[in-house]
Structure 1
Amino acid sequence: MIVALSTIAPVAAAAVAFVVVGGPSSTASPAAQPPTPGQVNTLALRDLPSGQSGGSGKQSVQGLPAATTKPFSLLGVSWNDAHEAIDGAVEVRTRAAASGAWSSWRPVEAESDDLPDVGSATDRQARGATAPLWVGPSNGVEVRVTGKGHALPRGLRVELVDPGNGTRKTGVRAAGEQLGDVTLAGAVSTTEPDGAPSSEPGSEPSPSTVDAPPAGPVTTPASTPTPTPSATPSPSATPKTTPSATPKATPTPTAKATPKALAVTPTSTAPRPTIKTRASWSADEKLVTDPPEYATTVKAVFVHHTDGVNDYSCADSPAIIRGIMLYHVKTNGWNDIGYNFLVDKCGTIFEGRAGGVDQPVIGAHTLGFNTSSSGIALLGSFNDPSDPTPPKVALDAIAKLAAWKLGLAGGDPTGKTPMTITADNGKFKPGTYSFNTISGHRDGFATACPGTKLYAALPGIRTTAKQWTTPVTSLSLSGITGATKSGSTYYTKGTVSLSWTSRKAALSKYEVVVDGKVVSTPSATAASASLTLASGSHKVQLRAVNINGTTATSSTYTVVVDKTAPAFGTAAYLGIRTGAVSTTGVIPVGLHWKATDNTLLRTLGIVSPSKATLSTTATSWSSSSKSQASKVWSVTATDAAGNSKTSSATRTAALLYESYAKRTGTWKKTTSSSYLGGSTLFSTAKNASATYTFTGRSVGLIGKRAPNTGALTIYVDGVKTTVFDTKTSTTNYRNIFWTKTWTTSAKHTIKIVVAGTSGRPTVVTEGIAYVK
């Protein structure tokens, strides 16, 4: 609550008498207060000796020595004449309520550059004022205001804003009904604050006070200059106009926008973000005594920063906003908070000025250009090199909000728009000028706002906002995981994940379409979707649904669900194959099988006794095995969906030398290192025979083949099977020249009979190789 101490000298003197000017007396915080609404307390500033300000003595210096005060979290400095400005520096330091520690000196922006248009209903600037500064819960303050060789404005005082604890439930006045987290134009709520007496509009505010000094001695911190005794503030001389001082403009008033019947909520070209209502930050609607003003449209968005600390907790955001509202109403004399929206560093968007977030409410943020614009303020300061870079989540929130707000009138976030000013605001003369539809405060007014770092982020904000207003016209999947692509078809066991590039566009949702039916509806910000399909072939598409009802659909993707593993029509078996047996007894063998699949066989490979990748059409694999070595022989078939089946056989290959053959007729023995085991039997006598008996499932005859060897007749289990001529163009020792395989293991006899070939009757036998 404000009392103009500078204009009522006796009251001012009495108020100052309660100030502790010797520095903080204790680090203890004041006793906890019961739930209360926010309030503004004021303390008059007074002339300070030049030594206390560090000045040369030629400067005008006013301030307030270190004082214990009522609790506050936001402050500013104000003065009598709204059309004057401070040509100098305003600095404060505050005492934290929790720790009792004093902060370092902090600058306060000497002039509030968030202003209503001249002549608007909000232009009721009772006092000149600096920008508000959030300092966090405090109970002590010290102030100094130093003029640059000129007299300071009259009636300087510090405004100490206690935002209240936010527990009161407040109605929404001239704002409207609630839809989710968004206040839309329409109804008016008349809910009274809980647990607090109703204060009628127009009632007198309570006087400003400060806490009485505590009993006992006062301890002055070493870093705190010894203050001088309290004195009644003396009026300042009439200030001189200087180039650096920017007085409030006073030309012909801007034509007022007449309050209108609120329109039905329009449809934006961008999706609506989540916006916390005024009720969410406990706006005191009793402060708003006049209805909002409306323009015909919103053509531009001006981005601001609120100044103040950056290390606030996002849980404090409602309190910060309440403090700003109290300052704008009680100190500046406006009808409501000046900004249309506020955003904190966590990306939470808050409704600012009442009147309907979807409506062209005229705010008080960019002098001369408030009509047809919307003001978005980011909590914090982003101007000094030591200030942080604005968080990406906050920049994205500003972009999405700006896209939606501009989109209500079809505005282009990356475009330009004409804006008309009817009164000189210190930077622009009356006329029409072109602005980016998303501009910084400094584009429309002579100010550093929104700070160098936030201003530098505006191009990125425009680009991101543009994405939110651009409908999707084409769409494609970037991948289908959990499936294998063969040709143009995807094969899976049943569950796949569709992925695509998520677009910050004017989307309401995505739709996954299977065989012509929508089976799931991922959100507009989704980039993937899991899909479980029944067995069989399916047609899968992704559809993007824009907020205007148009759609974009991807190509059709064929997805085959196969849950059946490949089959081995012929199980894996090992057999003797033709070729040379090594002198160390390594036998040529071959693994055989027949694999099929109901959809598509993707891979086929040997997994034991070694690794080999084969063609999916392969039915055999050549290898070798040491005699009498037992091995596991395995082949694995995998289909396109990833189902696998392995067929295995554990087998042993062995040798039976010629000496074990039962012979008839004339056979002769010869030795050579070229023969199997170093010796062999040969015969030239027609009808001479050699019989081998073994138990196994595959067998091969081993012998010498040469240009001068002849034919022999082969009997299997007493049955004549074939006549085989062993003649070759080159001499081959230990050669397996004939094989036979059965499906099961059994006892068998293999008999060879010399055919007596004319001119080359010799037949050579070195033994047999067989698989047990």
Structure 2
Amino acid sequence: MAGFVVFQNVTGGSADNSDSKAGPVRTDVRKTALKVAADGSSASLGRRDTAPFSMLGVTWTDPAAKVTGAVEVRTRSAANGTWTSWMPLETDIDGRMEAGRSGVRGSTEPRWVGPSNGVEVRVTAGAKVSAKLPAGLRLDTVDPGKGSSLHAAPAAFVAENDVPTDDPSSSDSPAADPAATSEPAPTATESDPAPASETPSATPSETATGSPSPTASSSSSPTAKTSPSASTSPSASLSPAPPSTVPKPPITSRAGWGADESISPQAPEYNATVKAVFVHHTAGTNDYSCADSAAMVRGVYAYHVKSNGWRDIGYNFLVDKCGTIFEGRKGGLDRPVLGSHTYGFNRESTGISVLGTYTDTAAPSAVTTSVARIAAWKLGQYKGDPAGTTMLTAGATQSNGFGKTFTVGKQYSFQQISGHRDGFSSECPGTKLYGQLPAIRSLAAGPVTGLAIKSVTGAGLSGTTYYTKSEVTVGWSATTPSAFISTYELLVDGKSVATAAGTATSAKATLGAGTHTVQVRATHQSGKTTLSAAATVVADQTAPSFTTKPSLELRTGTVNTTAVPLTLKWKATDTASLKEVRLTAPVAKTYGPTTTSASHTATSGVATTWSMSAYDLAGNTAAASVAGTPVILQETSATKTGTWTAKSSSSYLGGKSYSSSAKGASLSWTFTGRSAAWVVSRASTSGQAYVYVDGTKVATVDLKSSTTKYRDALWTKSWSTSAKHTVKIVVVATSGRPAITTDGLVYLK
């Protein structure tokens, strides 16, 4: 891995200081040798009790060796004592990541299992492998400690740290079962502590001093460095870190997650630049609480340092399933820190690992958002394009997860946001998360997607056009998370009238009279802009009008003293768009814009005002009303000629009616009003009558009905204005059914 420099006691951008009060947390790594079968094809550790741990992995002596078979573990819950089923440990990690260092070991990926106090291990070499399993197989269990249990300075741990011993009595004791008694005792308990005279290198500050820029080494692989003490003078200093073109996301610092800096006292190493971001997953369970994420990061840190023998945690950043970002390898967040994450391509890259396994499960949006934010920020420091490609020089001869072969020293094209499997033979970062990389690139690079106007409050919608008096609030949405959006602008007829933050979802505008085109423009943090589809908004302050004022007329139907049938008529129009007409008294009703009449009833002898309001879609209104009083004229008040017989029944108006079979017999009523209705009783034997209005015959009315009806308004007549009128009915004496029965006349005044 070429292209890095080493600085001691350097300064550089640090993580967010909101967690600066957190203290280092001691982690314990216990190491137990596995029993290897005589033929070397399998190894095991019988079920046994252990000291508390929450993470584990299997390591071996040669970092270049591989276990091509299966490594499986079972653990016992410390909470309820139940044993898990067998769980696989991922083996596609290359232990040569820091092979130049003394004590580096090959290993599986560490797996988070939660608080446990028992374990069982089995390892097989695989059917296609004739060679034996790697030498020095051992189980490493990690207790990540309690986040609030320690607030002392890192140096305090040096004095307290146990000196490792080969005394089997200091290791985890096996459970009392026959299988455990035949297995070897653990070879060690704790990994080597840092010397008491050493302290971890200083946490980089937000600013940096020194003029020379880092220059890449010509070596193709790192050279082991001597661990510096706190008093060591810097061999060089870093120039200020380049600013990024996009904002830095919130990041939990190493102090925030409780990093014990005493276990990794060596100074960080640096690349010359960051040209690519490799996305990983840690493998293991997704069934963890985000409250445990800091402990998981501490576990990975302890495993990489104490089990793998690396100088520090391998990843530059880690992200939990809730989207919390954690600082990884020390050296300054805004620096091109050399990590150990993608064998052969650590140079000129940074590594982001998501806690969990994403082979069959897609990463939540909180994860993809955070990964995209980190990637965009780091690439933005070096003029990178999250959606673009770059050339990387291979630091090792090997193949990637798709069978593509790399030759050391040659350059190859990579997406600037790539998956681990693009650079190394691995399934990492899992099939599902790998499939989400295009979406992550899109989030990081922009532009904003899914931008659309969702509402125009203060306006009515008809078809695709909005109508308002003047003031509107335009609401919008976008599928791109707000973290990537710098600003929104509200455009009216192409001109910006309001600017809002990237977290906003609406803005207000005041429109002049007329038709307008309204749009929303979103600016991605990359500077790319997106314009929404246009909405047409008409500003209208002209009220609708009643071109036909409300009017009343009597209608046919059954008459009661409390319910005289009548029809309310009107016509309303608007220059822009009529929305509705509302009847507000004596009852409340709402009618559509094309409705011009409605049937109602009114109480006889009571003056009633019918109040109406017309509304247009802009909210303008107009009011109109009409008043009327239905009056019932009994048959006894009529002027009669010929023979009429009075009838009594509760079914008649007023309890009485007149009946006649005499040809030419007549009844006449004179009134002043604008509408009249003749009320009769009807049956299958009822006859006919002539109707005269003001001396003119206007109708022949047949009272015959297949069903018996009482108080039936059978004939009506209305006039445009109120005036004096006379209505006369004359018996026709129809053959076979000469009789008619009348129940009076109703008029509207």
TM-score bucket of the superposed structures, by smaller chain: 0.5 to 0.7
Residues 1:194 and 2:139 are matched in the alignment: no
8 A contact 2:53–2:143 mirrored in 1 = yes
- Aligned equivalents of 2:138, 2:334: Cα separation in 1: 38
Q: Which residue of 1 aligns with 2:27?
A: 39
Tell me how far 1:158 sits from its aligned partner.
2.9
Report the Cα offset of residue 116 of structure 1.
3.0
1:402 to 375, 378, 391: 375
In structure 1, the residue matched to 2:79 is 98
Structure 2 SS opposite 1:316: helix
Look up the match of 1:424. 397
| Mapping 1:156-167, distance limit 5 Å | 156-167=137-148
Could you tell me which amino acid in structure 1 is paired with residue 486 of structure 2? S
Aligned counterpart in structure 1 of residue 552 of structure 2, from 571, 574, 593:
574
Alignment match, 1:349: 325
Which of 127, 131, 135 matches 2:105?
A: 127
Taking the TM superposition and a 5 Å limit, the aligned residue runs for 1:368-383 are 368-383=344-359
Task: Determine the structure 2 residue equivalent to 1:274.
Answer: 250
Partners of 1:46 and 1:769 in 2: CA distance = 109
**Corresponding position of 1:717:** none
1:84 CA displacement: 4.0
SS at match of 1:602: strand
What does residue 311 of structure 1 align with?
287
Q: Deviations over 1:135-192 (max 9, x none)?
A: 3223334445555654444444332322221236xxxxxxxxxxxxxxxxxxxxxxxx
The amino acid that maps onto 2:320 is D
**Pairing 1:529–2:510 present:** no
Q: Does 1:291 align with 2:267?
A: yes
Aligned-pair identity (%): 38
Native 8 Å contact 2:612 2:624 kept in 1: yes
Residue identity opposite 1:491 in structure 2? T
**Residue of structure 2 in register with 1:448 after alignment:** 427
Residue 463 of structure 1 aligns with an amino acid whose one-letter code is A
Q: Secondary structure at the match of 1:330?
A: helix
Alignment check: 8 A CA contact 2:171 2:186 kept: no
| Cα shift at 1:79 | 3.6
Change (3 A) 1:460 1:139: closer
Q: Is the 8 A contact 1:367 1:425 kept in 2?
A: no
The change in CA–CA distance for 1:611 and 1:116 in structure 2 (over 3 A counts) is: same
Compare 439-448 and 476-485 and name the one that shifted more: 476-485
How far, CA to CA, are the matches of 2:662 and 2:508 in structure 1? 70
Shift of 1:432: 1.6
Q: Would the alpha carbon gap of residues 68 and 212 (structure 1) be closer, same or farther in structure 2, given more than 3 Å must change?
A: farther
Give how far 1:318 is off: 0.8
The code of the aligned residue for 2:299 comes to G
CA distance in 1, matches of 2:475, 2:327: 37
Summarize the Cα distance change of 1:475–1:313 in structure 2 as closer, same or farther, 3 Å threshold: closer
Alignment CA distance shift 1:521-1:737 (3 Å): closer
The alpha carbon displacement at 1:335 in A equals 1.9
- Per-residue displacement from partner, 1:291-326 (whole Å, max 9, x unpaired)? 333323323222222123332222111111111111
Contact 1:541 1:557 in 2 (8 A): no
For 2:486, the equivalent position in structure 1 comes to 508
Match of 1:330 among 297, 306, 327: 306
Q: Does 1:640 align with 2:617?
A: yes
Equivalent position to 2:181, from 220, 227, 245? 227
Q: Hey, what does 1:74 align to over in structure 2?
A: 55
Amino acid at match of 1:261: L
Find the aligned partners of 1:337 and 1:529 in 2 and give their Cα distance: 44
Corresponding letter in the other structure for 2:243: P
CA drift at 1:421: 0.9
Shift of 1:770: 1.8
CA distance in structure 2 between the aligned counterparts of 1:378 and 1:104, rounded to whole angstroms: 24
- Distance across 1 between alignment mates of 2:52 and 2:557: 100
1:460 paired residue number: 436
Counterpart Cα distance in 2 of 1:140 and 1:513: 64
| 2:445 maps to which of 450, 453, 469 | 469
The residue matched to 1:289 in structure 2 has which SS?
coil
Say which of 254, 273, 284 aligns to 2:221: 254
Contact 2:24 2:255 in 1 (8 A): no
Closer/same/farther in 2, CA of residues 226 and 654 from structure 1, 3 Å limit: same
User: What is the DSSP-based 3-state SS (H/G/I as helix, E as strand, rest coil) of the residue aligned with 2:436?
Assistant: helix
Output the amino acid matched with 1:228. S
Give the distance between the partners of 1:144 and 1:549, measured in 2 at CA: 54
CA contact (8 A) 1:583 1:676 kept: no
- Structure 2 counterpart of 1:127, one-letter code: R
Structure 1, 454-463 or 316-325: larger mean CA deviation: 454-463
The 3 A distance-change label for structure 1 pair 295 and 93 is same
For 1:499, the equivalent position in structure 2 comes to 476
1:108 to 89, 96, 103: 89
Deviation for aligned residue 1:370: 0.6
Instruction: Report the secondary structure of 2:303's partner residue.
Output: helix
User: 2-side partners of 1:737 and 1:446: how far apart?
Assistant: 95
Separation of aligned partners in 2, 1:66 and 1:298: 46
Question: 1:727/1:230 Cα in 2 relative to 1: closer, same or farther (>3 Å)?
Answer: closer
1:136 aligns with: 114
2:568 match = 591
- SS of 1:483's equivalent in the other structure is strand
Is it true that 1:207 corresponds to 2:164 in the alignment?
A: yes
- For these two proteins, the number of residue pairs brought into alignment is 621
CA deviations 1:380-432 (Å, max 9, x no partner) are 2345xxx6554454344434443444444444444433221143246522212
Distance 1:614 1:397, change over 3 A: closer
Q: Could you tell me whether the CA contact under 8 Å between 1:588 and 1:624 is conserved in 2?
A: yes
Q: Kindly report the root-mean-square deviation, in angstroms, between the aligned alpha carbons of the 2 structures.
A: 5.6
Separation in 1, partners of 2:428, 2:262: 30
- Aligned pair in 2 of structure 1 residues 259, 485: CA closer, same or farther (>3 Å)? farther
Counterpart amino acid of 1:770?
Answer: Y
> 630, 634, 652: which is aligned to 1:652?
630
| Offset of residue 255 of structure 1 | 6.7
Partners of 1:389 and 1:549 in 2: CA distance? 29
Structure 1 pair 480–354 and aligned structure 2 pair: CA distance change class (3 A): same
| Amino acid paired to 1:113 | D
Q: TM-score, normalised by structure 1?
A: 0.64
The Cα shift of 1:377 comes to: 1.4
- Kept in 1, the 8 Å contact 2:457–2:473? The answer is yes
How many Å separate the matches in 2 of 1:390 and 1:522?
27
Give secondary structure in 2 for the equivalent of 1:315: helix
Distance 2:447 2:664 in 1: 90
Instruction: Tell me how far apart the structure 1 counterparts of residues 568 and 413 of structure 2 sit (CA, whole Å).
Output: 82
SS state of the match for residue 337, structure 1? coil
Q: Deviations over 1:662-682 (max 9, x none)?
A: 9xxxxx7699xxx99878979
1:547 aligns with 2:521: no
Gaps of 5+ in 1: 1-34, 51-56, 169-192, 234-250, 663-667, 684-689, 703-708, 715-723, 743-747, 754-765
Deviations, residues 429-479 of structure 1 (Å, cap 9, x unaligned):
2212222333322222223333xxx23442332134314422359966243
Deviation at 1:484, TM superposition (A): 0.8
Please say if residues 66 and 227 of structure 1, whose CA atoms lie closer than 8 Å, have aligned partners that are also in contact: no
- For 1:494 and 1:74, locate their aligned partners in 2 and report how far apart those are by CA, in whole Å: 60
Tell which deviates more after alignment, 197-206 or 349-358: 197-206
Secondary structure of residue in 2 paired with 1:75: strand
- Asked if the contact 1:117–1:370 (Cα under 8 Å) also holds between the matched residues in 2, the reply is no
Cα drift, residue 495 of structure 1: 7.2
